[in-house]
Each structure stands twice: as structure tokens, then as C-alpha cells.
A and B are shown apart, each in its own frame.
Chain A
Amino acid sequence: MSDSKKSIFKNYRFYLSLLITFGIFALAIIFKDSFFRIWIAVKDFVISIAYYFSQLFFIDNGLVVTVNDLVVFPGSTTIIPPSSETIIPVTYDLFAIKMSMYWNSLINNQTMAKFLVAVINQVAIFFRWFLIFIPGFIALYIWYKNIFTANQKDYFLDSIQLSRWKKIKANVITPVFNWIVDFNSFVLGHKYFWIIWICCFGLYFNLFSIVIDFFAYYFYFVVSFDFENIYIQFYKLFLDLKVMFNTIPWPVWVVLIMILFDKIRKNKAYDSLDHHEFMNRGFINECGQSTFVVGEPGTGKTTALTDMALSQEVMFREKSLELLIKAESEFPNFPFIKLEKMLQSEYKNGSIFSLSSSALFSRDLTNAFFDFYKKGEFEECSRLLFDYDFNTYGLRFDDGSKIIDFISKVDAEHSVLEMYCKLYFIYVLQSSMIVSNYAVRSDNSFQDMGNLPLWNYDFFRSPSAYSSDKENSKVSHILDWDCLRLGKKMLKDNSKANAFEFGVIVITEIGKERGNQNDTRSLKKTADETNQLNDQVNNFLKLVRHSATVDNFPFIKIFWDDQRPESFGADGRDLCEKLVHIKEKSSPKTKLWLFRLESIIFDFLNGHFKSFYKRYRYWRSDNTLFSYFIQNFSSQIYKYYIRLFNIFCYSEQRIESESSKMNNDFDSSKYYLSYKKIYSYRFATDAFSDYFYKKAALSKVGIDSLPSFNCYRASLNELSSEHSYLFNSLLGPVLHSSKPSESVAARRVSRATFPPRDEQDKDQQDRSQQHGYNSG
């Protein structure tokens, strides 16, 4: 016996589990009918199987099938187990009658009266309980009011009651909870216990009998087509389930139904999010190679841009896998796995790092193959192709329009071998496929069992993201504009200048980088320094699809945004097939059933909590038992609500797309922004904040130190301190003159509006003190 098996006998949880098991065995006394029931079910099953084969092979042995029989239970005079009734009648005819009775009695004074009486009874019961608790509510209210009577300044000190509660929690509740969790994990870790328990309850509640009887009837039905007796099976099903419905108390059913309902509604909501994602992808595909997103501030341009880039990255990976499978369909007997393993080893040693190096690898292989082929060394050829029997399975595929070579020296680029090497590189690329001028984080997980790796692209069912999760995050590559420059480059001999071949380029605020005709008017193509006219970025963007096309599919997509289309020059705009105008963003929506009800309840509770919290924080700073419970309760509600909100809510953007020629021919559509997808640390809305942080850090003063206006009407001196173009031009001659005008009117104005500077400072200081702040 191994040590682990020996040690289990020293574990008291084992004996407790054993005791529970015996307890469950003892319940057999209560559920004794279930043993008779399963015996009948097994007998029905065996006879049905025999009947099935006898009918199948035309053997007429006079076998009488018992699956349609209702059997009298031991100790009973009916087919119904003692002390049990069924909801539905025993025959279909009676059922039809009962249904007829049901419909007739549905709109019936007596039925309605009975229902109303039942409802009133329930309401009466509720009010009875309410009356019982009224004194408690009054006491609670008085206590609640008294909380705010004393100005308590015991900063974050616990009250005596709270201290006691925390002790009880630490010494009783938490250990008990931990023990339950621990025992639960012990049981889950020793599956024979919970399997036995489930089996016992499956037996007691006739669940096994139902399954066995289902197959018994199935085998009988497929050879007899006995529709008449289907009803009796339903009757038996109700009869069998009755045991479970009668045994399990209704509160448990309520909880189970709620859990089931919650699961169903979440699945449906996830389906809706998936549907939106596919609709977004359809829209992105319609947009062509380059897409220019424009819209007013606050409409979610950059959010949509990022969302599109994330979806596009997934689409590229999916497309590469689709093309890989296509290649495998064309040459089903080629050992692609061996090729993949060799490519992986080349990735590791760094000899393949791009599409062009993949092509180089493939061409070296091709050259070696044809060298041996010319010499007639076919075994060597086969060895080079990973022992592929090309004599038997061939090296060509006729797709009806063209003959595709697996390996070719003349047209190597379109040979399946080279395309496969490139596609595999795209598919398994471990870093992000996005190249952008701001950071975009994706977290598609790469799952590899050593064979064909698979990506998990699920944006909605993945766990919450960590901002610093380097292991699972793939943050976009920094866009080095020299990569996009075919002409002059900003950095001479930039080693990364030729690195970009394929991927998703995302550029926010393109107009500020590239400018339009007005912005670049002062620039010259012939200038020595790099500028927007001589760097030929636009030419690169026009031609880049040639470097990114593999198997006739361009693995390149460019998204950029700005507030107005005119911010980007006409030549740049012409790159886009579509200009996407984001007209408006809707308020949050969801397809989660009953979320509105949860939202109503949450707002009600949260509103009251906020009101309580503000008052409590104003009056007191100590911790009482009451405030502790209220805060923790509201925190749990908030957590529940905000999680549902962030996972299942989305916004709709109303989009109008037009041709880049801006001929005002708009197509309306919608773009869906799922919060779970786009707000999981995907990008920072303050993408360039680091610049402003550094800029502000240079200052020795803050907003509190900026001078305030003296009163609600600004003085001339105050206006001049704005350093504005307007007031400088208007007031400059007046204020900055070394000798002010001596006119009477000017002197009056001057006296009225310019109190002495020390007086101004004093006033300001007084006001600041009045508000309780130090003006600095």
C-alpha cells in the first residue's frame, strides 16, 4: 500500500465521509420503492433489447414487451407508489379530458376567485410577518437616528460590539467556513465518495430508472413505432420524478431554479455578445484595407479603433488557420506536423523571424530538393520532404482552375510549401500582430499540446484582466514611422526600418502626425530633413499589401482616426475605401434577462447606502457594527452588480460610412462596443498622458496656487494676467504703457477696478480661509 493510501486512514475527513456515506445508505429505508423501480426498469430494458433484436432479425418468439406496463408496487394496491399521486392522469384520453377541463376552467369565476383568495392569503401572511417585525423596525429606526447625534472622532476605531463580532468571525465563522471549504475539496479530491453519493441519490430519486426506461422504450420504439404508448412513458416519468419533487424541500428548488435561470440567461447574453462580435467583424471586412474613423470627441473613436484592431488580429489568425487547413486538404498525406516541428526549431534558433525568412527557408529546401531530383536521388528528395511519398501521392493539386505545385523553383512564392511556412509563421506568432502609435493590449491565449496549437480568442468568457499581467498579455508593437517610410527616414541606418511586413497598423490622431495640405504647405519635397512630403509613407501604405499577401490573402489592415476627415491630406484619405463617421454612442445596453430589475434594486439600495455613508462620514469616523454590516453588504451588492454590468453591457455606436471621396453617400450601420472586451485594460484613453505628467512635473506650483478672480466681474488687471491674444491686443496699450492715460475717465476706471495689490491678496486670503483652505 502506498504512503498516500496509508495516510488517508489517518485523516479524520475520511472517516467523516465514510459516516456520511453510511448515512446515505441508511436512507434506503425511506426510498425502498426505488429499488423495486430500478429492478422493473432493468427488466424492461432487457426485454426491450431482446424484442429489438428479435424484430430486427424477423424472429417471432412472441415476446411481450413490459416497458409500457404499469406495475403494482409491493405494499400497494395501485401502480402508484404508496402515499404518492401523479400530476397527470394515467391515460392519454384522460389527459385530453383533463386538459379540456383545464382550458374550460381557466377563464372561470371560481378559478379566478380561488386564485385571488390564494394571493390575498399570501399577502396576509406577509403582513402578519410585517406586523410582527414592526417594533423591530421602529427600534432600528430610532437606533439609526441616534447614530448621527454624536460627533464621534475615534478615527477608524472599532466599537465594542464590532470588536466582539470580529472575534466571533475570526474564531467561529471563518474557521467553520474554511473547514467546509477544506472538507469540500477533500471530497472532490476523493471522487469515490461523491460518485457513491451521487449514485445513491440517482437511485433513490429514480434517475437511473428513468434513463434505463428511456433506452428500454427507445429500443422498443425503433422497431415497433408504437406512438400510442408514448404517453404512458410520460406518465411513468412524472411518477418517477414525483419522489424527487416530494423529497427536496421547496426552498432548495427555488435556489436550484434561480441558479439554472442565471446560467441560462448568462449563456444567452454571451451568445448576444458573440453575435455582436461577428457583426462587427462583418463590418470591418466591408471596410477594406484602410479605414479612417472620424467623429466628435467623446463618441469613442479610439475605442472603436482599438476594438476593430483586436477583432482584426483574431480574424488574421483564424484566416491563417483556415488557409493552413486548406493546404492540408490539398495534400492530405504530406506530414505537415514534421514540417511544423522543423519550423518551430528554426523559430527557436532565430533563423526564421519573418515572412521573408520563412520564404528563404522554404526556398533552400526547394533548391536542395531539386538538386537531388536532378541527380535522380529520390530517396534523398523524400527525406527532405519529411519522408513524404511524393511518387504515390504526388506534388500537384488540380483545383479546377489551376494546377497548384507543392514545391516549385519557378514560382516558389505560390508553392504550397512556401505558403504553408508563411501561414504557419503568421498563425503561431507569439507577440501581438498589432503595430500602433499607442499601446493596445490583447490576451488571446495560445494553447499547445505539442501538435497543432490552438488560440483561444474568447473576449467575453475570459477572466478579468490584470494591468501588469505580462505573462498572458500581448501588448502591441511600437509603431516606428521609419518602417512606413519608403523615402527619407528620420533615423539613418534604422535597423527596424524594413521590419514590418504584415499585421494591423493602428494610428490615433493621424492628422496631427501627417497633416493636410495646409499643414504641409511650408514643407518641401527636396528638403534635406525628413518631412511628410518626402518620406513616402502614403506610397508605403498603398503598396504594403504586396508584402503582406500570402495565398492570395492580404494580412494587412490599417486603422486610423481623427476628429475630422480633412485633418488628413486628400492623398492619405484616398487610401481608405471608407470613411467611418461615428455619429453617437448609446448609453449602456444589455441582453441579460432581468438586468433592469437588478439595476432598479441596486440603484435603490445603493442610493440609500450612499446617503447613509455620507451622513455617517460627516458625523463619525469610528466603526460600528451597524456601519460595518451596511458597508460590507453594500460592497457585496456593488461587486455583484458591477461585475454583471462590465461583463454583459455594451454600447451601440451609430455609424455612417461614406466613400473616401466624401461624396455624401452614407451607409448607416451599428458598431457594438462590449465593455468586457474593450475595457479590460485594452488601451489607455489618456494614451499620451506621460508627456503631460512630465510637463506638469516641471512646475513648482499647482492649481491651488493659481490666482483667483477677485469677484464675479474680472478686473482689467486680471484679464491681462490671462496672457491671451485677445486681451493682450485690446488692453496692451492701456495696461503695458509705461505712462497710463491721464484722462479723467481712465483714472476713475483705474481707481474703481484696481485696488492695491496687497489689498487683493488679503481679500483672496480671507476667502480661502472662509472655505477652510490654505491659499498657499
Chain B
Amino acid sequence: MYKRNKFVDFIYVISLLFFVNLIAYFISSYSYLNNPSISKSVFVNRTLRTLDDSNYIYFGDLSNSYLFVDSVKYDLDFDSYVENYFIYYLEDEDEEEINVNFVVLDSNSIYNDYFNLYFYSQLTD
């Protein structure tokens, strides 16, 4: 019969569980990008109404946490941007101010009047 060592069995099972979890972690991390549910963050909607005629804008480094914002729901208003950063403010349901550091806008003619918006934020509270 197939001979095994119990210690090696233990290491084998632990390693297997570790790798399964690692793969699950990698997949989950990607899925969190599409469906972030970070506490105090704002929910997702990738398609937004046209904001201006620019085709594509990308700003800032991406070292911070991110969130996606529905511009319609939160009635976004880009009140300022400094260099490559869009900085604007919005209020969540608890009327707490969230400082959104980075914004990415994507426009594509095929989208007709639709944009994809990604907001990379540093939650200030």
C-alpha cells in the first residue's frame, strides 16, 4: 500500500489548505474591486451620465484604497482639482464627509453618453 509519514501528511494538508486559501484570496481580492463593500464606502455603479466631452482622463497614483461612486445618486460635483488630482467632496447617508482623492474617467464613443467612473479614495474618517 501507499506508505506515508504522518508528519509529512500534516505538512501536506496544511500546505494544501494554504494554497487553496491563497487562490481564494487572489480571486476574492479581484472580486472586491467589482463589488466593494468596505464599511463607510459608497456602492458601485460603473455607468454614469456624461459629465463633459473629454475622452479619457486618468489621474494620480493608485496607492490608496478605492471606491466606486454613483454620480447620479450622490450628485457629484467636481469642485476642484489640483494638478493630477480630482478632489471633491460628497456626503454619504450619514452626512459624513468623505474625501475622494483620485478619480478616473473613461469615455468611449461607443458608449454613447456613458462614462465609466472609478474613484480611488482615502477614507478620511
Contacts and interface: CB of A to CB of B under 8 A. Distances in A.
Contact of B33 (A77, A105, A587): A105
A588 B2 contact: yes
Given A77-B114, A105-B29, A599-B4, A114 B66 contact: no
A600 B25 contact: no
A90 B116 contact: yes
B37 A114 contact: yes
Contact of A91 (B30, B108, B114): B108
A595 B3 CA distance: 12
B21 A119 contact: yes
Secondary structure dominating the interface of A: helix
A377 B52 CA distance: 98
Interface stretch (A93-101, A198-206, A625-633): A93-101
A454 to B, nearest CB: 36
A85 interface: yes
Contacts of A691: none
Interface in B1-54: 1-4, 9, 12-13, 16, 21, 24-26, 28-30, 32-34, 37-38, 46-47
Interface in A62-119: 69-70, 72, 77-79, 85, 87, 89-91, 93-94, 97-98, 100-102, 104-106, 108, 110-111, 114-115, 118-119
A90 B111 CA distance: 10
B32 A105 contact: yes
B4 A97 contact: no
Nearest to A597: B16
A95 B114 CA distance: 18
Contacts of A114: 28, 32, 37-38
Nearest to A122: B24
Interface string A630-664: 00000000000000010001000000000000000
Given A77-B114, A78-B111, A102 B2 contact: no
Contacts of B16: 597
B62 A101 contact: yes
Nearest to A79: B110
Contacts of B33: 98, 101-102, 105
A288 to B, nearest CB: 35
A608 interface: no
B1 A645 contact: yes
Contacts of B66: 101, 105
B106 A70 contact: no
Interface in B107-123: 108, 110-112, 114, 116, 118, 120
Contacts of A649: 2
Given A119-B21, A596-B4, A93 B29 contact: no
A90 to B, nearest CB: 6
Nearest to B114: A78
B78 interface: no
A91 B28 CA distance: 22
A590 interface: yes
B39 to A, nearest CB: 9
A637 to B, nearest CB: 14
B13 A69 contact: no
Contacts of A600: 4, 9, 12-13
B2 A599 contact: yes
Given A94-B106, A105-B29, A105-B66, A89 B2 contact: no
A414 to B, nearest CB: 53
B80 interface: no
B109 to A, nearest CB: 10
B117 to A, nearest CB: 11
A588 B3 CA distance: 7
Interface in B39-93: 46-47, 56, 58, 62-66
Interface of A: 69-70, 72, 77-79, 85, 87, 89-91, 93-94, 97-98, 100-102, 104-106, 108, 110-111, 114-115, 118-119, 587-588, 590, 595-597, 599-600, 603, 645, 649
Given A114-B37, A596-B4, 15 more contacts: A85-B46, A87-B34, A93-B56, A97-B118, A100-B62, A101-B118, A102-B29, A104-B63, A105-B33, A105-B65, A105-B66, A599-B2, A599-B4, A600-B12, A645-B2
11 contacts: A85-B46, A101-B66, A105-B66, A111-B29, A114-B38, A115-B24, A115-B28, A588-B2, A596-B9, A596-B12, A597-B13
